[in-house]
């Protein structure tokens, strides 16, 4: 199983200042669904891992988060793709939990349940916290600038404009 780990907001879909609280708020970034579908077609196991503090703050229900995920799946299905696993931290940042990125409990627990190996797998995010967690689990950190948290990573971290460009450069160009 070849894992591909993706952050959600700012990587797959547009990020919003007022949070994505329902399916109507969820809008994919141009090219992201096609790129995920192509990765799936090439045998990647797609894992989305995200901090969802709107749950812990009481701004959104788990039902709404599941509805957003269903919309994402149905949008991907139109291109022949799908997400294999959704992992999320439901806590408020003040809770200081172990599952909020850049901590690794979400991915550690998933690895224990599935036996998946993250070593050198691509982990694509739009924040330095994504880069930090990728390094901690042995994944290959990749940063995209399609989110609101434009950051300058250390020189060894690859950086691209968006998910479609990143996947084209690091995955698809190697297999064609």
CA angle 32/35/40 to nearest 5° reads 125
Q: What stretches of 97-152 show up as alpha helix (H) in DSSP?
A: 105-114, 128-137
In 3D space, the residue among 63, 125, 62, 69 whose CA is nearest the CA of residue 90 turns out to be: 62
From the number of C-beta atoms within 10 Å of its C-beta (0-12, 13-18, 19+), residue 64 rates as: middle
Residues with active-site annotation:
7, 9
Transcribe 83-109 into DSSP letters: -SEEEEE-S-GGG--SSSTTS-HHHHH
Whether the Cβ atoms of residue 26 and residue 32 lie closer than 8 Å to each other: no
Report the run of H or E that residue 2 belongs to, with start and end: strand 2-6
């Amino acid at each position: 199983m070849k894992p591909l780990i993706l952050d959600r907001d700012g990587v797959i879909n547009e990020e919003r200042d007022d949070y994505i609280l329902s399916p109507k708020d969820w809008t994919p970034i141009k090219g992201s669904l096609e790129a995920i579908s192509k990765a799936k077609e090439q045998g990647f196991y797609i894992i989305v891992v995200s901090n969802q503090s709107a749950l812990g703050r009481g701004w959104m229900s788990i039902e709404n988060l599941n509805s957003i995920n269903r919309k994402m799946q149905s949008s991907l299905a139109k291109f022949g793709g799908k997400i294999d696993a959704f992992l999320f931290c439901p806590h408020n940042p003040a809770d200081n939990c172990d599952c909020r990125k850049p901590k690794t409990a979400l991915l550690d627990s998933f690895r224990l349940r599935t036996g998946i190996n993250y070593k050198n797998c691509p982990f694509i995010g739009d924040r330095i916290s994504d880069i930090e967690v990728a390094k901690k689990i042995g994944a290959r950190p990749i940063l995209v600038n399609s989110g609101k948290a434009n950051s300058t990573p250390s020189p060894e971290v690859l950086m691209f404009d968006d998910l479609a460009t990143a996947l084209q450069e690091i995955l698809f160009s190697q297999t064609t």
